[in-house]
Structure 1
């Protein structure tokens, strides 16, 4: 470089593509002389008296220790400007001719004896030829008293020690008392409330729990008011490292934006990738900082596992814990926003992640039991490396009070009988529904009895995914332990029931189909397969054939296949409900979060 008085070498280096630099290092000194320096007479003259070996031994800047030291030394000098170091390196440097600068496959893992010798000689590792075994190569440690080891340890101490230090276990947090769940247990009375709002009311009570509430970190990428999260602004405030530097446009509102340096809410803007990063950082803080924190990431469910699924997988890989709340869920519930926003498949995507425990609750008290279970499993004694995905809806309806002696175990494990048939009849059916679909099934249960004399039991399925996970585990056990077979939970719950099973939700049929292998009764699923559309909730549900009338017709169709109902009865039902006519459907509730 000192000979480059005209800048010819610098220009040559800057104009040479990276692909050429890679190729040069895969050849030899003569090739570099001809194809690199030889491109300009001035640079060719610089190495005219050099041997090919001397040219070959020229180091790239990223592998020249003195140049690297000089670059970092210059970069650390305070000049009031950020400094970027571009270090040109060689892929596979020192790994021998089979790897260095080659487009080797990832499956190429083993080094030959020749590669090992070259690697040893290049890095001056004091191992003899006898110690080089290509199958089990020796490792060299200079010793704790060596200058190299002492230097590395001294630098590490100056940086604060071995950080981050990951812990495998989390210390337990105090669990909320039962009173903390009272707001969702008692229902909403005559008020129509969406499960999203029921959850927010519960969250406001949980943040008041001593020693636990201060560890809750709400994370919102967008639409805080859509989720009813603005009620947290006055007390928790939105975190900003600089505080609030502007006059809020909604300052006259009781629930106006409040930013503060001690704020708790992470309001990330329309940035799901950043929000999942925050979720992962907070959810793994028990491991990296020995501080168990409880991230609660709430978002449009369509923009979760579909948009940031890889980041959620990374969160699982980092043993992250917390709650992921898929708000405005369902393909027909967030109506009016078309296919971009209407989620009918996030539970399928979530099912691919081994760390995710997924639920699709219908009522506030179910949400309460699920949150309680999640806090215990993730932050209690013998905590687990899992995180919860819970879909909640923006359609307001009356939230029932928790039934006396409710089947809490069934809520957690995935299914419980919500409402038995009102009368005994010769014709029977079993309606399985989740989320907002439970309301459709309640109406269908009444229509079946009043119009067609079919007595149907109604089951609330809080988690199709967990029922499938249980079924798979049972199958695995039974394959390996034929002498002590087990029975899947859903099989046990439905044992002794009579009539076909009709399974429905505001998600694709494939979500419900997950449990079919463990259902002994004739099984039919109804779901929202296809793109979302903009229309009333009632019209959309009629379009996808998941509304109450469609459940009735599907039940009768299944009874026809069993030979218990005449085809004429099925035709009468189709005509009575005008199932072919979307405009005949009740438009339903068009309100927001409630």
Structure 2
């Protein structure tokens, strides 16, 4: 059996990453002010980095999918040649892997192939499939359970842009271990406002607020959390709740429920082991511990992905995923179910009458 080592991190690795960061950062306005999708954003970033003579020699781009090919005589379709190349192993460069992988077995093979390094972008959600988000149900389990993987489900091109920059900084400038994963969809992000620098920073921690509501208006309030393409359904549900039921919704985009849960778990463990020290908080608690307003967390994956944060939510919590209702493959979560579950949570808190939940179920024919 042929043996080989992992890629070596050198000063040249940092210089290569910084060249890519500078190039991508200059494109920020294109993604933050416009309405580009996560898929378009990452393909455009890959194409620009490869076509620019100033960055082409500083990055490895692997294209194992069919949507992102550019004109090239020698396109890289896997990372194994890099593993066997003495020159490549001598000094690591940033690795951007564009793939269409539907199973955890495929993703496990890709992560081994790339030495558990790089930015792995999966566009399987854009292709026909019998599974929600185009991914086998074990994929979300593998992503959440893999300590080497930091998974994200960006809702917009701006979020994908911010995540790509953070991954380059963390992996190749700071030299941290592991790899980043992004699930990419191709729907434009015209359902949320352009992202600010502060929001981008908070998005990398797992969640950021999309709107402000009047807490003194006396209307029932709910917090709605959404990730990836499911955020569109969440925003639509908020509009229905306001127009039809007089409920105000505090909206949050959650690019990574897994990162939120890991951060909260880490803080909880530290507090248990250091009972006499000042307690540590987490980004999740910093965002959601202000009051006891109910929280509904929505994901296009199975419900367990959003459920990861449930143990740390201090108010009433409801998780909703593709397996929570009869969501057809390739379809977004039904916004009507989000409305009904939000009303039910408010009814259980005594904020509205239970009859309103029954009215909503009958109105939307969700028997």
Q: TM-score, normalised by structure 2?
A: 0.86
Runs of at least 5 residues in structure 2 that lack an aligned partner in the other structure? none
| In structure 2, distance between residues paired with 1:340 and 1:507 | 6
Shift in alpha-carbon separation, 1:347–1:194, aligned structure 2, 3 A:
same
Q: Report the RMSD for the aligned CA atoms in angstroms.
A: 3.0
**1:188-337 to 2 correspondence within 5 Å?**
188=35, 193-207=36-50, 211-222=54-65, 224=66, 227=67, 229-230=68-69, 232-233=70-71, 237=72, 260=73, 263=74, 265-267=75-77, 275=78, 278=79, 282=82, 289-303=89-103, 306-311=104-109, 314=112, 318=115, 320-329=116-125, 334=127, 336-337=128-129
| In structure 2, distance between residues paired with 1:286 and 1:471 | 41
The answer for the alignment partner of 1:441 in structure 2 is 234
The answer for the alignment partner of 1:522 in structure 2 is 316
| In structure 2, distance between residues paired with 1:341 and 1:396 | 16
Q: Is the 8 A contact 2:154 2:182 kept in 1?
A: yes
Q: TM-score, normalised by structure 1?
A: 0.55
Q: What's the CA shift for 1:399?
A: 7.0
| In structure 2, distance between residues paired with 1:578 and 1:376 | 49
State how many pairs are aligned: 355
Shift in alpha-carbon separation, 1:530–1:432, aligned structure 2, 3 A:
closer
Q: What's the CA shift for 1:491?
A: 0.7
Q: What's the CA shift for 1:536?
A: 6.6
**Correspondent of 2:205 among 386, 390, 413:** 413
Q: What's the CA shift for 1:565?
A: 1.7
Shift in alpha-carbon separation, 1:525–1:401, aligned structure 2, 3 A:
closer
Bigger drift between 348-357 and 365-374 goes to 348-357
**Correspondent of 1:179 among 9, 14, 26:** 26
Q: What's the CA shift for 1:437?
A: 1.1
Q: What's the CA shift for 1:562?
A: 1.4
- Aligned to 1:389, the other structure's residue is in SS state strand
Shift in alpha-carbon separation, 1:465–1:213, aligned structure 2, 3 A:
farther
**Correspondent of 2:355 among 568, 571, 581:** 568
Q: Specify the structure having the higher radius of gyration (Cα).
A: 1
**Correspondent of 2:10 among 145, 170, 175:** 170
Shift in alpha-carbon separation, 1:266–1:405, aligned structure 2, 3 A:
closer
- Aligned to 2:352, the other structure's residue is in SS state coil
**Correspondent of 1:393 among 164, 179, 185:** 185
| In structure 1, distance between residues paired with 2:8 and 2:57 | 23
| In structure 2, distance between residues paired with 1:487 and 1:286 | 45
Shift in alpha-carbon separation, 1:170–1:425, aligned structure 2, 3 A:
farther
| In structure 1, distance between residues paired with 2:360 and 2:191 | 30
Bigger drift between 522-531 and 359-368 goes to 522-531
Bigger drift between 507-516 and 343-352 goes to 343-352
Q: Is the 8 A contact 2:101 2:124 kept in 1?
A: yes
Shift in alpha-carbon separation, 1:356–1:478, aligned structure 2, 3 A:
same
Bigger drift between 406-415 and 519-528 goes to 406-415
Shift in alpha-carbon separation, 1:534–1:426, aligned structure 2, 3 A:
closer
Q: Is the 8 A contact 2:60 2:94 kept in 1?
A: yes
Q: Is the 8 A contact 2:223 2:249 kept in 1?
A: yes
Runs of at least 5 residues in structure 1 that lack an aligned partner in the other structure? 1-162, 238-259, 268-274, 581-594
- Aligned to 1:398, the other structure's residue is in SS state coil
| In structure 2, distance between residues paired with 1:495 and 1:340 | 31
